[in-house]
Structure 1
Amino acid sequence: MLHIENLHAKIGDKEILRGINLHIPDGEIHAIMGPNGGGKSTLANVLTGRPPYEPTQGRVTFNGEDLLEMSPSLRAQKGLMMSFQYPVEIPGVSMTSFLRAALNAKRKQKGKDPVKAADFLKLLKEKQKQVKLPSDLMKRFVNQGFSGGEKKRNEIFQMLVLEPSLAILDETDSGLDIDALRTVAEGVNSMRSPHFSAIVITHYQRLLDYIRPDVIHVLMNGEIIRTGGPELALELEDKGYDWLREEQKED
């Protein structure tokens, strides 16, 4: 589904990514862990086409197409979605209008007719219950007046409605209590299928107790320096990152 080869990226004159190589097959969930400033969020923003993050070298293909040549909106229409670490408020844009426009744009790109109003409302109610999102929030503008936890639930709610083929979850667990964490994880797990993959960016092993990734990568100093299974997250929780820093220095 996603293939990244020797990806370099910068912000202004500062190089952040220094040769990322990563392959996400269809149907797999991969976790990316690492210390602050290592490049995790930069990688997510480069993949979604968010300025001022600028790729300078390398190649990224998404379902066989050149991702870096696509506009951000086309990337979304092709099935790429990002759940932000700090979801923004969009005053003046209702939740319902926002989601219906996004869903219909995706359907149009696939040559499908716009979703009927009745079917759309039925879909919203079904997914809303799944993430325990209060019904009154649907009458508000996007994220406006939402608590931090409600914003994170809303991101997962949008994912369930839009059904991306690849979701990038950038520290979706930050600021969540245990009940909200479980609800968010259940939403992600409900998406599991041969046609859905995800990149889960997190600092903490606790999220991975609920979303069990197939593979875990450690991103540090702009490079993926270690890849392993679920046991790697437990090792990081126990030992931190200093031992990997020492190994990197020795190399």
Structure 2
Amino acid sequence: MAHKLEIIDLFVSIDDQQILNGISLTVNSGETHALMGPNGNGKSTLLMTIMGHPKYTINKGKILLDGQNIIEMSVDERSRAGIFLALQNPQIIQGVSNFEFLRYVVDAHSKTKLKLNEIFAKVKDSAKELNFDSSILKRNVNDGFSGGEKKKNEILQLKLLQPKFALIDEIDSGLDVDALKITSTNINKMQNEQRGMILVSHYDRFFNYVKPTHTHVLIKGKIVKSGGPELVTKINNEGYEWITNG
């Protein structure tokens, strides 16, 4: 079944500081949208707002998931509706083992109650595809994890939940080449006609592994340029000056 995520004329502020200034973007199932732009111009803000982070205030606009405006939904309601955000800097959760956390996540999104051994097998298989040491499942969530382990843990959740739309925020930052290849391979496996993606990254090396169908440049809270995958290459070669001076 095809799905559609629509951002319509979205204005967002944080503590009375305007960050997004009229963003409109439509993502369909089967599409992968690269979101690029200099730091501090609203890319992460857009993803956080779609996910429903309470820190961000929507002053105007709509966020539609298959035609339904979701801006009044809580984060968990949006998650169960089919939206997932892979964080750049995920939180440490003391006193909760990674497996217990993943079990709860899977349970909360399952239409039918799964047995513990079924969940464990599902988690273990998905972790294996990420070259994720199973001993990490016993440790507290993200506690003492390396940067690469934290990012893999985010993609592990993505694989387990199989959302309609995946929002991925700079998952490549801080990864060595091997971890980047593994992470990218698993993201590529998630690309299909039933799922749309929005990927934030500054680096074309990531988009060499995960090919976008669409590319957008965000500057001062607005999408100022859109194109195909060739736009990533042009930005890598020429930076953003040609856009800001254009």
The alignment's TM-score, normalised by the length of structure 1, stands at 0.95
* Equivalent residues of 2:102, 2:123 under 8 A apart: no
Partner letter of residue 217 of structure 1? H
Alignment partner of 1:73 is 2:76: yes
Alignment partner of 1:198 is 2:188: no
1:64 Cα offset (Å): 2.1
Give distance in 2, aligned partners of 1:244 and 1:83.
Answer: 28
1:10 Cα offset (Å): 0.2
* Equivalent residues of 1:78, 1:106 under 8 A apart: no
Alignment partner of 1:54 is 2:57: yes
Give distance in 2, aligned partners of 1:93 and 1:164.
Answer: 24
- Of all paired residues, the percent bearing the same amino acid is 41
Alignment partner of 1:27 is 2:30: yes
What residue ranges of structure 2 are gaps of 5+ in the alignment? Answer: none
1:63 Cα offset (Å): 2.1
Give CA deviations for 1:176-214 in whole Å, capped at 9, x if unaligned.
111111111111111122111111001111100010011
What residue ranges of structure 1 are gaps of 5+ in the alignment? Answer: none
Partner letter of residue 36 of structure 1? N
Give distance in 2, aligned partners of 1:183 and 1:63.
Answer: 32
How many residues are aligned here?
A: 243
Give distance in 1, aligned partners of 2:235 and 2:242.
Answer: 9
1:184 counterpart residue number = 183
* Equivalent residues of 2:216, 2:227 under 8 A apart: yes
Give distance in 2, aligned partners of 1:159 and 1:215.
Answer: 21
1:225 counterpart residue number = 224
Q: Which runs of 4+ in 1 moved over 6 A?
A: none
Give distance in 2, aligned partners of 1:116 and 1:169.
Answer: 29
The alignment's TM-score, normalised by the length of structure 2, stands at 0.96
Partner letter of residue 195 of structure 2? F
3-state SS of paired residue (2:50): helix
Which moved further from structure 2: 218-227 or 112-121?
112-121
1:239 Cα offset (Å): 0.6
Give distance in 1, aligned partners of 2:54 and 2:202.
Answer: 24
1:153 counterpart residue number = 152
RMSD between aligned residues? 0.9
